[in-house]
Structure 1
Amino acid sequence: MEPTAFFVAGRPVHGVDEVTVYHPYDGRPVGRTTLATADQVEAAVSAAADVAATAAALPAYVRAAALDHVSRRLAERAEDIAELITAENGKPIRWARAEVGRATSTFRWAAEEARRFSGELQRLDTDPAAAGRIALVRRVPKGPVLGITPFNFPLNLVAHKVAPAIAVGAPIVVKPAPATPLSALLLGELLAETELPEGMFSVLPLPNERAAELVNDPRLPIVSFTGSGPVGAMIRRSVPDKHVTLELGGNAAVLLCQDWAGDEELSFAAQRIATFSNYQAGQSCIAVQRVYVHEWLYDGFLPRLVAAVRELRTGDPADPLTDVGPLVSEAAARRVEEWVDAAVTAGATIETGGRRDGATYPPTILSAVPRDAKVHAEEVFGPVLVVDRVADDDAGFAAINDSAYGLQAGVFTHRLDVAFAAARTLEVGGVIVGDVPSYRAEQMPYGGMKGSGVGREGLHSAMDDYTEPRVTVLTGVRL
């Protein structure tokens, strides 16, 4: 098994210290790469800085063509890439395939956005003194981007850093998660097939303790980080003069409102919650973690939810019938086990699940959980649901807001007034009406409030984050 190359200024290279990636399910080695040396990191950052002006001046068709190429190649190699994601991340192949599909869409949307990222024309003759003047407001890159990505979506969350950077003409240096570098390196391989200028992208495998040298480098004025809250907060404090975007996770909640009462409706909600609390083994920032049910629906809904969760199949993620695979490591599964055990000691009841097997933790439902238990107050990042009853919709909104996080929330209701009340009241970045909070489209703004971060992803939103407005005023123009 030859080590996989990484990319410095668009060229494949090897470092010195070799690292092996192991399958989370059975521990077998699935790939190798090497770590970037200090000289290679310097070469990547220097090349990004040197090419920044050239990159910003790239015609839209050049940027769009590169993005279209990556989108096509992802589609052509979809099954191989999905198998790679499953091997290094442990997510079931059905979800790995979905991730490849999303990454394909991400690059396609970025190509479309690159073609229409044209700016705005403003007439200024709204006052007599400005007669004969118009303004052209364009957005220009702030400079090279540092993208730091997590393990849970090792392809698509890299895509959400890289694609908008290329779309606006900004060089990017990517530091993928140490546990899952292989998908990012494959994406680098596809980018290397394009005609982007040298220095436009680098993908550097590095241990997390070496990320600070990139974060603090003044030649990378934008830091886009997806990961844990404490690390994100540390980044923000360490570089106050940089433009920092942070997607720091969540504690996603869903509310079943009083009007969502029919048998089919309750069954639909149970299925959706069961699926999207446990997809990716719960390792998604918008996986359902807290479920609030109107009190007169609670006793009828809980058995449906338990039954739906018990139907999920746990096992080998390479099996297409597997719904829930292992967590990324046994250490991650042990942490989830410790949090659940602590909640039970504090008075919670296990409705189903609760017994770890190596790196696999079964889909678990807890009731009567104290509000200060970690499984309720913090982000579990595992297949664990907390279910509670609320007196009415307002109490449900208050319970959702009683969190340090605010990424997305789901509200099951048919009533338009309740939907707008949720959108007005909930302290989150997105409210999904009639479904779980786990819905995300690649083009929509995605991000949160409070401890869930700052800034927004989604192609156009990220392109705005990577750029700043530049105004050109034309004088003596007759409109």
Structure 2
Amino acid sequence: MTAQAEVTAVTPGSWVCGEPVGGVDPFPVHDPWTGEVVATVSHTGPDDVERAVAAAWAVRRELAALPAHRRADALRHVATRLLERLDEFAATITRESGKPIRWARAEVERAAVTFRWAAEEALRWSGELQRLDTDPGSTGRLALVRRAPRGPVLGITPFNFPLNLVAHKVAPALAVGAPVVLKPAPKTPLSALLLAELVAECDLPAGAFAVVTVPNEEAARLVADPRLPVVSFTGSGPVGWRIRDAVPRKHVALELGGNAAVLVCPDWAGEADLALAARRVALCANYQGGQSCIAVQRVFVDRALYPRFVELLVAAVGELAVGDPWDEATDVGPLIDEAAAHRVASWVEEAVREGARVLVGGSRTGSVVTPTVLADVAPGSAVSCQEVFGPVLAVTPVDGVDDGLARVDDSRFGLQAGVFTRDIAVAFRAHRELEVGGVVVGDVPTFRAEQMPYGGVKESGIGREGVRSAMEDYTEPRVLVLSGVAL
């Protein structure tokens, strides 16, 4: 029995000033699995977009001055309500994104953690005292360094985590007292609109949070609006860099994806170790249909371990359940739409023409691409040097740690990397040498905790998410110097 029958179709518009509003030019939201229209959403009209931005600007000082306990109470309320309505939110995620229902539930739970962490950080957001009598000329002076919101935040989110990536924009902003205008992905607006219901229940100024469903081509007006001095974008690289180039005087944070790599080192040689690595790589290359910025895409294995690891990996990938996202047993569901699946399949075909071998998978039916493992992939193939954003990984032998680290780092992206080793020297070397935002030792790069700094270097973006990191990103230091103070 599936959860599909429990979902009811919704036809939301936008949320502005704490209430749902109608709109213009309705557009359909499709179920990636069936292709059916599951909701009709109206684009936010120009007047309501203006009202949302104006309200955010108008309440910026009121929200920033709100006592910490009020902001924390609101964030805790959202975390609690997410768990109370977990099945409803999970079903919404599955219906609009095609994410298997069990991963959708996990996403709701993670979003609740994100809001809970934000509530806790809001209470700790106290600033820093610095004594200045370290030099004779500053005797009797004390500095209080606090961080003040830069202003209202424009959050732009992608389709692959339609709730938790929204949470990572909204929760840190509300924690520091910054209003948020959110533009969700047009393919998956329903989760954000449902979240707005929960925020509207909180004791916050009406302009603290808005969801505007404008088309992508009209988002430039929001990006350019001077009343939204912070832009936090998660999505494709070309779009992200265009945003930054368009508003060089704004504070812009970008999370732009990558082609995450795993290195299996020579010391990871035991049968149980190899089996663990194979299972983790198989699952975390595919469980979101590969539609994760830190999904495993490139796997480098010490040459002596390569034959056995490949055997285990192919077997583990072959055991993944593929298909109906409403089935509790499904590991891998559809991609966001058939066009995305067609692109991924065409990249696999191109890699094969360039000499790659398909070890498992490689087929497409509608919006579903079977989990695919490729060997002998040319370094210049798209599946190697670009972000596939699909259930495809390339496995390659390397000659020891030196060669392996060099191959991991041979990428224009730098989000996270995974290193399977128990050698502490290798772990610290990887952390020191790899140009990435994070190194995960003993596991795949797909791991992310909501509180840790998360982001990349090179073409993977600028800035960091993670609740505390985003709170710092949305604020700037403001110094108060007290004179004539006897310490």
Which of the five TM-score ranges fits, normalised by the shorter chain?
over 0.9
Share of identical aligned residues, percent? 63
Report what 2:406 is aligned to. 398
Any residues of structure 2 matched to 1:246-285 within 5 Å, and which?
A: 246-285=254-293
Q: 1:170 aligns with which of 152, 167, 178?
A: 178
Distance in 2 of aligned mates of 1:10 and 1:477: 45
2:24 & 2:464 partners in 1: Cα distance?
A: 36
Equivalent runs, 1:38-77 vs 2, <5 Å: 38-77=46-85
Q: Deviations 1:219-270 (Å, cap 9, x if unpaired)? A: 1000000000000010010000000000000110000001000000000000
Structure 2 CA distance, aligned partners of 1:185 and 1:304?
Answer: 43
Q: Which amino acid aligns with 2:114?
A: T
Query: Structure 2 matches for 1:104-119, cutoff 5 A?
Result: 104-119=112-127
Distance 2:355 2:274 in 1: 27
Q: Which residue of 2 aligns with 1:461?
A: 469
User: Following TM superposition, by how much is the alpha carbon of 1:13 offset from its aligned partner in structure 2, in angstroms?
Assistant: 0.6
| Residue 425 in structure 1 maps to residue 433 in structure 2 | yes
Aligned to 2:374: 366
Which of 188, 192, 204 is the aligned partner of 2:196?
188
2:314 paired with 1:306: yes
Deviates more, 1:247-256 or 1:17-26: 17-26
Map of 1:385 onto structure 2 = 393
Q: Which amino acid aligns with 1:122?
A: Q
| Counterparts of 2:335 and 2:118, CA distance in 1 | 31
Residue number in structure 1 paired with 2:166: 158
Q: Give the conservation status (yes or no) of the 8 Å contact 2:297–2:394.
A: yes
The AA in structure 2 aligned to 1:41 is V
Q: Give me the whole-angstrom Cα distance separating, in 1, the residues matched to 2:87 and 2:401.
A: 44
1:32 offset after TM fit, Å? 2.1
Superposition CA RMSD, Å: 0.7
**Which residue in the other structure is 1:434 paired with?**
442
Q: How far is 1:62 from its partner? A: 0.7
Moved over 2 A (4+): none
Aligned pairs (5 A) from 1:223-372? 223-372=231-380
Instruction: Extract unaligned runs of 5+ from structure 1.
Output: none
Q: Which residue of 1 aligns with 2:479?
A: 471
SS in 2 for 1:380: coil
Query: Residues of 2 paired with 1:100 and 1:456: CA distance?
Result: 22
Instruction: Provide the residue aligned with 2:109 in structure 1.
Output: 101
Q: How does 1:74-93 map to 2 (within 5 A)?
A: 74-93=82-101
> 1:242 is matched by which residue type in structure 2?
K
Which residue, out of 23, 28, 53, partners 1:20? 28
Q: Structure 2: which amino acid aligns with 1:371?
A: P
SS of match in other structure, 1:423: helix
For the residues of structure 2 that align with 1:146 and 1:156, how far apart are their CA atoms?
A: 16
- Displacement of 1:206 in angstroms is 1.4
Query: SS at the partner of 1:199?
Result: helix
CA distance in 2, matches of 1:115, 1:35: 37
> Counterpart of 2:314 in structure 1: which amino acid?
V
Q: 1:253 & 1:167 partners in 2: Cα distance?
A: 34
SS of match in other structure, 1:278? coil
Corresponding residue SS for 1:224: strand
1-structure distance, mates of 2:45, 2:317: 46
Unaligned runs of at least 5 residues, structure 2:
1-8
Q: Partners of 2:214 and 2:351 in 1: how far apart?
A: 36
Q: Secondary structure at the match of 1:157?
A: helix
Residues 393-433 of structure 1 show CA distances to partners (whole Å, capped at 9, x for unaligned) of: 11111101100100000000001000000000100000000
Q: Counterparts of 2:97 and 2:10 in 1: how far apart (Å)? A: 20
**2 CA distance for matches of 1:30 and 1:75?**
23
Q: Which amino acid aligns with 1:225?
A: F
Contact preservation (8 Å) 2:97, 2:159: yes
- State how far apart, in whole Å, the 2-side matches of 1:66 and 1:443 are: 19
Paired residues of 2:82 and 2:108 also in contact (CA < 8 A): yes
Partner of 1:30: 38
Instruction: Name the SS of the counterpart of 2:24 in structure 1.
Output: coil
- String of CA shifts for 1:429-464, please: whole Å, max 9, x gaps: 000000000000000000000000000000000000
User: Could you tell me whether the CA contact under 8 Å between 2:122 and 2:176 is conserved in 1?
Assistant: yes
CA contact (8 A) 2:15 2:193 kept: yes
Shift of 1:5: 3.3
CA–CA separation in structure 2 for the residues paired with 1:3 and 1:212: 26
**Alpha-carbon deviation of 1:2?**
5.6
Bigger mean CA deviation after superposition, 325-334 or 33-42:
33-42
1:217 aligned onto 2:240: no
Contact residue 13 and residue 44 of structure 2 kept, 8 A: no
CA shift for structure 1 position 9: 2.1
Secondary structure of the residue that 1:58 maps to in structure 2? Answer: coil
The 3-state SS of whatever aligns with 1:372 is: coil
Report the TM-score when normalising by structure 1.
0.99
Report the Cα distance in structure 1 between the residues aligned to 2:215 and 2:20, rounded to whole angstroms. Answer: 19
Find the aligned partners of 1:322 and 1:172 in 2 and give their Cα distance. Answer: 35
Q: 1:151 corresponds to which letter in structure 2?
A: F
Q: Deviation at 1:11?
A: 1.8
Q: Distance in 2 between matches of 1:151 and 1:279?
A: 15
2:5 matched residue in structure 1: none
Equivalent position SS for 1:279: coil
User: Which amino acid in the other structure matches residue 428 of structure 1?
Assistant: V
**What corresponds to 1:125 in structure 2?**
133
Q: Tell me whether 459-468 or 20-29 shows the greater mean CA deviation.
A: 20-29
Letter aligned with residue 335 of structure 1: R
Distance in structure 2 (CA, Å) of the matches to 1:114 and 1:256: 40
> 1:47, 1:289 → 2: CA distance?
43
Distance 1:355 1:5 in 2: 38
Tell me, in whole angstroms, the C-alpha distance in 1 between the residues paired with 2:390 and 2:420.
23
Instruction: Determine the structure 2 residue equivalent to 1:5.
Output: 13
Counterpart of 2:287, as a letter, is Y
CA distance in 2, matches of 1:177, 1:54: 29
Question: Which amino acid letter does the alignment assign opposite residue 87 of structure 1?
Answer: R
> Are 2:415 and 1:407 aligned?
yes
Match of 2:151 in 1: 143
1:28-69 CA distance string (max 9 Å, x none): 222222100111111111111111111111110111011000
